Chain A
Amino acid sequence: MKRFLEKAVKWILTGSGFVTSAVILLIIGFLFTEGAGLFGEPVVEEGYVLALNDDNPVRTMTAAEIKAVFDEDITNWKELGGPDLQIMTFRLEDADEYFSEEELGSRYEHAGAAIASLVKSHPGMVAFVPESLIPENPGLNFIEDKNISPGEVLGGKEWFPTATPAPLFGILPLLAGTLWVSLFAILFALPFGISIAVYMSEVASERVRGFLKPVIELLNGIPSVVYGFFGLIVIVPMLQQVFGLPVGESGLAGSIVLAIMALPTIVTVAEDAMRNCPRTLREASLALGATKWQTIYKVVIPSSMSGIASGVVLGIGRAVGETMAVLMVTGNAAVIPASILEPLRTIPATIAAELGEAPAGGAHYQSLFLLGVILFFITFFINLCVEFISSRNRAKNR
């Protein structure tokens, strides 16, 4: 009985030991299945077709081109490799302009035939209509129905997930926004973080350190929404005044808030590393006549460099994944930022802002999971870096 209990407990404990690994696998599995579904979605909205006149030789258009055509940024078929012909766009909403109610039928039963003849009579027309409306053998040409390609998503410069007829899922603006904000956050946090770590581990008296330590812990404990709220109420208006911006919500506001949030991570890890620097090293340096400051920057900092680096990398990880504070202060404009003073949008903020409105299972929904996958891998990579740095450090110290 006793031995059975021992065995049973051992197995339960072993099982629980692998829970985190299982969770990681589940995260990868679920995010991947949803995210990869995006590449099985058609470029043109599900159930719709783009109908062309029979004489129009154009057969393929990318999502970006379709959007440009319907936004009237591209106005001639020449630009798409077709004849020199003015482009006319037609959406179902425009039907009333071309047809009377009788022509369409009270329940749109004649709409398909009416639209088909309209497209036939206008050589430059492209019509965005439901597939079910189009009659059989209409004598029209259609833009080939292709699936969204990874290249369009990973290399796309525009994020318009709700655009019709063809939503754009280019992640570059979001990626740029994320990296931009994190980079500036680390630039702000780095001098403060290292200085405080050095001060706490090398300079401050026990009493001052005993005061600073809880301050840093508390900074780490404050919820990100509170930072976001503080940023929204205090930092955003301040930046607007100082820089004379049209809107204060900007990448800079995000970086400042993120810098405060990433600071505790950097300080804690870097300070730990410096305190672990062997006493004999310090004493040897001091005995050679170096001042305390010389000892710090010539002996302590170089010898604890890997710890400091881990702290900085972990800080970057925290900044990249932070959602709420960034969502609240960066203004959420999905464009590639030209300067840090402009509104921008990060990957986590996009997920948080848009998932609520994206219909489950649709392309938009799946694209947000794809963003989750990308975010997961960015942080996964960052963690591996930390792991690598600290394992190299352990090997060196041995």
Chain B
Amino acid sequence: MDRPSYPDGYSLRKRRAQALAFAIFRILSLAIVIVLFAILGFIVVKGAGVISWDFLTEAPADGMTSGGIFPAIVGTLLLMLGSALVAFPIGIMSGIYMNEYASRGWVVKFIRLMTNNLSGVPSIVFGLFGMALFVKYLGFGDSILAGSLTLGLLSLPLVIRTTEEALKDIPDGIREGSLALGATKLQTIWKVVLPMGMPRIITGLILSLGRVSGETAPILFTCAAYFFPQLPASVFDQCMALPYHLYVISTSGTDIEAQQPIAYGTALVLIVIVLVINLLAGFLRKYFEKRLKMH
């Protein structure tokens, strides 16, 4: 009876239900946006005043109640580099194997299951494992080497998955075209498949670096030093790292008043690294997509 009075033909009750449901969705989504901006805003506002050239380029001083965080920044960058050296070659090769060589069937299924399982292993378990294998069994001690290897294994599943997915989207016709021209399988992969998949692989690699930069638990017992003001001289040295520095300074500080600003500053630097990495990945993705379209 009241149906004709509504242009889109739904009853008032139904329209109300829909409006209510959508309003709830909007509010909850908005709430999460607010949470993100609250976290970011809080750290940016409190941390911005701490950041200065000296803060970024000096070592901690006076029992870590003053001074900067330079060794921690260097340590984190070294660990990112080290883990990249471990994870990128193995991960990309593994991804190529999965998509190009492995026969479809139980082998791929098994490897994928293992890779998924590895990506679900908690980071603290990686820390235990790294300590048992690299620090104790192989005798590397607490070192950048042990930390890099542990972090590298941690980011391996992510690298494998992005590589595999990037290669999967390349149509088989392109491979067949190359093979038909007389190229070998290896030449096809090297000259055709990899260059085409590279944009997405690189995006994935950068995101995996972002994950590594913030991990604390795996380096707790394999690498991180509470206080190591000089820069590491070799891969067998310990190093400071931003996330670990933030952890110790905010939980086991000796002088909370003096150390809190340093904690805010450290958190801000960490967030900026993550932000830059995310923006860079997003930007590269867009850039490569545009270039691919032009071709």
Q: CB within 8 Å of B: which residues of A? A: 2, 5-6, 9-10, 12-14, 16-21, 23-24, 26-27, 30-31, 34, 191-192, 195-196, 198-200, 203-204, 212, 214-219, 221-230, 232-234, 260, 263, 289, 291-294, 296-297, 314, 317, 320-324, 327-328, 348, 351-352, 355-356, 360, 368-369, 372, 375-376, 379-380, 382-384, 386-387
Contact = CB atoms under 8 A, between A and B. Distances in A.
Contacts of A228: 247, 250
Chain B, interface size category, equals: 35 or more
Contact of B93 (A16, A225, A369): A16
Contacts of B36: 215, 218-219
A355 B114 contact: no
Contact of B132 (A21, A30, A321, A327): A30
B116 interface: yes
A13 B275 contact: no
B133 A30 contact: yes
A230 B43 contact: yes
Contacts of B90: 16, 19
8 contacts: A14-B102, A19-B94, A230-B267, A292-B18, A314-B120, A351-B128, A352-B124, A382-B120
Interface string B195-232: 00000000000010011011111001100000000000
B278 A214 contact: yes
Contacts of A2: 184
A221 B111 contact: no
A222 B214 contact: yes
B258 interface: no
A294 B21 CA distance: 10
B125 A321 contact: yes
A291 B14 contact: yes
Contacts, number: 246
A201 to B, nearest CB: 11
B24 A223 contact: no
Given A6-B184, A30-B133, A223-B274, A24 B18 contact: no
Q: Is the interface of A mostly helix, strand, loop or mixed?
A: helix
B179 interface: no
The 3 closest A-B pairs by CB, nearest first: A223-B214, A321-B122, A293-B18
Contact of A229 (B97, B126, B263): B263
Interface string B7-49: 0011000110110011011101101110110010011000000
Contact of A223 (B136, B184, B270): B270
B97 A375 contact: no
A369 B35 CA distance: 36
A14 B107 CA distance: 11
B217 A324 contact: yes
Interface in B210-265: 210-211, 213-217, 220-221, 243-244, 246-247, 250-251, 263
A226 B43 contact: yes
B153 interface: yes
B85 interface: no
B267 A226 contact: yes
A18 B246 contact: no
Contacts of A217: 278
A321 B125 CA distance: 9
A30 B247 CA distance: 27
Contacts of B118: 20, 23-24
B117 interface: yes
Nearest to B215: A223
Nearest to B123: A323
Contact of A226 (B131, B217, B270, B282): B270
A6 B187 CA distance: 9
Contact of A355 (B24, B117, B131): B131
A348 B217 contact: yes
B289 to A, nearest CB: 14
Contacts of B124: 321, 323, 348, 351-352, 372, 375
Contact of A320 (B122, B126, B157, B275): B122
B84 interface: no
B61 interface: no
Contact of A31 (B128, B220, B243): B128
B113 interface: yes
B129 A26 contact: yes
Contacts of A296: 21
Nearest to B214: A223
Contact of A225 (B29, B185, B270): B270
A21 B118 CA distance: 8
B129 A293 contact: no
Given A314-B120, A355-B131, A355-B220, 20 more contacts: A6-B186, A17-B98, A17-B111, A20-B157, A23-B153, A30-B129, A30-B132, A31-B128, A196-B28, A221-B278, A225-B216, A225-B246, A228-B247, A230-B43, A324-B217, A324-B247, A351-B128, A355-B221, A360-B136, A369-B128
Contact of A356 (B29, B89, B121, B221): B221
B9 A289 contact: yes
Contacts of A9: 186
A375 B24 CA distance: 36
Contacts of B120: 314, 317, 321, 379-380, 382-383
Residue of A23, A191, A260 ringed by the most chain B CB atoms within 10 A: A23
Residue of B114, B120, B220, B277 ringed by the most chain A CB atoms within 10 A: B120
A192 to B, nearest CB: 5
A203 B30 CA distance: 14
A288 to B, nearest CB: 12
A321 B214 contact: no
A323 B217 contact: yes
A224 to B, nearest CB: 7
B287 interface: no
A200 B33 CA distance: 13
Contacts of B221: 355-356
Contacts of B17: 291, 293
B117 to A, nearest CB: 5
Given A196-B25, A218-B278, A380-B120, A10 B32 contact: no
